[in-house]
Structure 1
């Protein structure tokens, strides 16, 4: 059974490059979230600015939970980009193979 490319050669290369960029960006961002970078504090804890928490321990526990959830989410997104990269590279391979025929 012969496999036919779904994407053209330019689209598959473009998607490959965007996937590589997305993987790099999301892995770095996930690492920073795992290290609890202060740069993300404002984005993660927006809901607590209007209704303050009862004590500092509760606030720190909520912040740790938000950081952990955000880090896992970015790594899941990076894994999806890895799958997209694999598909795009496979399409580029099929296009190159079809050009040789």
Structure 2
């Protein structure tokens, strides 16, 4: 029988915790970027030419970075689902009789 188990219980638990934290942090960052938070201006990749068009170009860059944060949060959620499945498989393995 082929086993889908590829992580130990500690690695699966660590992946689950890190994924949960990553999803929360990146979703909050994405929300703040879409709200055009002035504190995050250092993280927006702009040039001098972007200021000539007015604030619309800077707002689009804010929203682009916010969308990237949401995409990264989705990747963390997928990794969290994988870690959750590995954790469940490890629990099932503990109760199996050999």
Report if aligned partners of 1:9, 1:92 keep a CA contact under 8 Å in 2. yes
Gap regions ≥5 residues in structure 2: none
How far the C-alpha of 1:29 sits from its partner, in A, is: 0.3
Deviation >4 Å, runs of 4+? none
User: What's the TM-score, normalizing by structure 1?
Assistant: 0.86
Count of equivalent residues: 96
Is 67-76 or 39-48 further displaced after alignment? Answer: 39-48
Q: Which runs of 5+ in 1 are unaligned?
A: none
Q: Which residue of 1 aligns with 2:59?
A: 64
Residue in structure 1 matched with residue 8 of structure 2 by the alignment: 8
> What is the rounded CA distance, in whole Å, between the counterparts of 1:30 and 1:52 in structure 2?
21
Q: Which has the higher contact order (CA 8 A, sep 6+)?
A: 1
Deviation, structure 1 residue 43: 2.5
Spell out, residue by residue over 1:6-35, the C-alpha distance to the aligned partner (whole angstroms, 9 max, x if none). Answer: 000000000000000000000000000010
Asked whether the equivalents of residues 30 and 66 of structure 2 are also in contact (C-alpha less than 8 Å), the reply is yes
RMSD: 1.6
Taking structure 2 as the reference length, what is the TM-score of the superposition?
0.89
The structural deviation recorded for 1:59 is 3.1
Alignment of 1:63-82 (within 5 A): 63-82=58-77
Residue in 2 aligned with 1:37?
37
